[in-house]
Every structure is written in C-alpha cells, then in structure tokens.
Amino acid sequence: MTHQERIRLIQPGVSSPEGLWADLGSGSGAFTLALAELLRPPAEIFSIEEEAFRLKEQQQSFHKHFPDFKVHFIQQDFTKGLQLPPLDGILMANALHYISEKENLVQTIRSHLKNTGCFILVEYHTREVNPWVPYPISFAEWKKLARICGFKEIRLLGKHPSRFQHEIYAACSWI
C-alpha cells in the first residue's frame, strides 16, 4: 500500500486538521505519516510503539518529511496504562488483531477520547487466523464490539486490496 493510498483510506475519518491524536501500535509509522499529512499545526500526534527501533525509523521519517510537526514518540505497550490528554482522535492500524481480549482494551481506548472524538481502526477484513493475524476482527465483528464498548456511530471509511489477507478496511467510530 502506498502512502497516498493510506491517506485516502483514513481521510474520511479526519474531520478537522487540528487537535490531539494518538496512533496506537504505530510500528514504523506508515499510518502515522499518513495522519500527519491530514493534520496541520498546532495539531499533535502521540505515536505509541513498543519497539524502540520502529520509533527511531519514525523519528527519521518525520524529521525528513515533517520537521516542524509536533510528534511525541512514546516507547510503550499501548495495552498498558497510557497517560494521554483527552484526544480528538485515535488511530490504530493493523494492531488490534494481536489482542485476544479486545473489549477491555477498546473501552480503555474510548476513555481517552473527547466527547466528539473518533477512533479510526484499520484492520484486515478477514476471519482467517494465521501467525501474523492471530485474532482477526472483520468489519461486522468490529461493529458489534464498538457498540458494546459505547460507540454510537460506526462507519466503514473504505477498503483496499491486501496481498496478505485479501483486503483491509478502515472504520471510524464516534462516541
């Protein structure tokens, strides 16, 4: 997936170019960079990734492409005790499928959002389990879980073919 394709996939969920956002399980920052393309200062991003070398890759990319953008690079497991201000949006791309017990985590994620905040989820649209996607969550399953966790509006933003798991989807959920 190209940078422009990632931007197009999440763009309908980013309603304002300002605010505070977090990218949970941000990896090497591919979707973090896409999010930055859609935001403008004074917006800020909290990029949370457990692996230090991935955060270093992100820092290098941001320094090159967005030297003036305020990004907080936080090395931490996003499933454990995040200390974040109230957020306008949260992005989680290709990370929820590593979590077996999703409900408590999604409720915790929701608690970090402002009343008008949105949660953009990017996941493989599959139910097939494999070593790389041990706990898949299809869009239909996401809608059920999001409602259980208190999200009122859940919308499919788009889909994109994937060479790994047929296709990925992006969904946005609002409180």
* Total of domains in the chain: 1
Query: For the ranges 16-30, 64-78, 118-132, 142-156, which has the lowest average pLDDT?
Result: 118-132
Q: CA-CA distance, 134 to 75, in Å (whole number)? A: 23
Query: For the ranges 4-13, 78-87, 102-111, 126-135, which has the lowest average pLDDT?
Result: 126-135
Q: CA-CA distance, 131 to 127, in Å (whole number)? A: 13
* C-alpha angle 169-37-124 in degrees, rounded to nearest 5: 15
* pTM of the predicted model as reported, rounded to 2 decimal places: 0.95
Choose between 162 and 108: higher pLDDT: 108
pLDDT digits (tens, 9 = 90+) for 137-173: 999 999 999 999 999 999 999 999 877 667 899 999 9
Instruction: Check residue 81 and give its pLDDT.
Output: 85
Burial of 26 (0-12, 13-18, 19+ CB in 10 A): buried
| Mean pLDDT confidence for 70-80 | 96
* C-alpha angle 112-118-121 in degrees, rounded to nearest 5: 95
In one-letter notation, the amino acid at residue 104 is N
**Token pair in block for residue 89:** 């949006």
CATH code for the domain of 90 = 3.40.50.150
pLDDT digits (tens, 9 = 90+) for 37-54: 999 989 999 999 999 999
Tell me the residue range of the domain where 94 lies: 3-174
